[in-house]
Structure 1
């Protein structure tokens, strides 16, 4: 037997190496055994399931349904319907002498309004309807002819559902960030204005009031994003729409309120 140290033979050294190896293995394994594995990550709680996953805005539309059932229905109200220009407008604060219902949702195209149409309407027929939609359609690349057809489809549907209400479509507005789209907007405005009398709705020019003397959009009437109006811009719209509503009458009558 070969000696490697005083009193230590090969078998003893082998046992010592084996023991050291086992101790080292246990020491390395201990921390892993002491720390439990991490629990599976949980998704942060959200606002709840989307009521209509195939379309955006469904949570906003559900909020409209809740508003409809929150209290007694408002009679002889004016329905404001459309995209973010309607949603961001302080409708109730701007038209304090009439009842109002705001059904604007940001980023909406005419196709979105048509998709959600029945869920946007108040429980009681309105006295009048103010519509602003179509601008986002053009920004998304839809042609002016297609935008005009969709807008007319919406207005015809409103007329069929509310045969006596005064219905007005607000012209597409010029904004600094979308000024390159203005020729297409003007084309849509002209097409809708040309059909107003035949389809029994009104056309109201709310774009000219937002232009500066040089014919360009007045940036002082818009928010820093160059798209949405600020309070001064909305004041101009309020003045125009308020004047219209003061003289608007239910279809087929010379005065009075919609029943």
Structure 2
């Protein structure tokens, strides 16, 4: 296994985890910003690309804060993010993630699944590979597995991060 340059882009789910410790044989940049929306990520993307000119893998977790604010009109901006990353890192694997279930009373699982389906379809029009991990965080009834989340119903517990990083290992270790 050769050392890879890996970028993790997104919001608090990226910022609040030590990705380098989880993937110690690689050079990892954890570039999450708590509270960030898809538009926020786009606004700092040029700076990220300038600071990190090389990447083998780019993992994107964004859109949760848009959905939590009932803003579902972010696909064009998300597509622009993927296009910029594809141009900057033509040989990199680029992996937008599904939005995870969130336990907020005004957002339903169906709302998130619709957003994820839109992200999946949009990603299919690019060279990126959609990483659907939503189901890993739900039980047989489609409800969020509470043990995977903190009490706020949005952020992940250690167990939740173990589930997520387990899914990423297959890609990182290729």
Distance 1:148 1:210 in 2: 23
1:149 matched to which residue of 2? 76
Match of 2:30 among 95, 99, 102: 102
Instruction: List alignment gaps of at least 5 residues for structure 1.
Output: 1-74, 248-259
Residue-by-residue CA offset, 1:168-204 (whole Å, 9 max, x unaligned): 0110000223672432221221122123343100011
1:136 counterpart (53, 61, 65): 65
Structure 2 residue corresponding to 1:170, chosen from 84, 97, 101: 97
Alignment correspondent of 1:54:
none
> For structure 1, which segment, 100-109 or 179-188, has the greater mean C-alpha deviation from structure 2 after superposition?
179-188
Larger radius of gyration: 1
Instruction: Give structure 2 stretches of 5+ with no counterpart.
Output: none
**Structure 1 vs Structure 2 CA RMSD:** 1.7
Conservation of the 8 A alpha-carbon contact between 1:80 and 1:102? yes
| DSSP 3-state at the match of 2:125 | helix
Is residue 194 from structure 1 mapped to residue 121 from structure 2 by the alignment? yes
Q: Match for 2:169 among 230, 242, 245?
A: 242
Q: TM-score, normalised by structure 1?
A: 0.62
TM-score, structure 2 normalization: 0.90
1:66-77 correspondence runs (5 A): 76-77=4-5
Q: SS at the partner of 1:129? A: strand
Q: Deviations over 1:6-34 (max 9, x none)?
A: xxxxxxxxxxxxxxxxxxxxxxxxxxxxx
Question: Could you list the per-position Cα deviations for residues 92-136 of structure 1 after superposition, in whole angstroms to 9, with x for gaps in the alignment?
Answer: 111122211000000000111111112233333111100000111
1:232 counterpart residue number = 159
The partner residue of 1:92 within 20, 34, 37 is 20
The alignment partner of 1:80 has SS state of strand
Q: 1:166 to 1:190 in 2, by over 3 A?
A: same
Asked if the contact 2:109/2:143 (under 8 Å) is kept, the reply is no
| CA–CA separation in structure 2 for the residues paired with 1:235 and 1:201 | 24
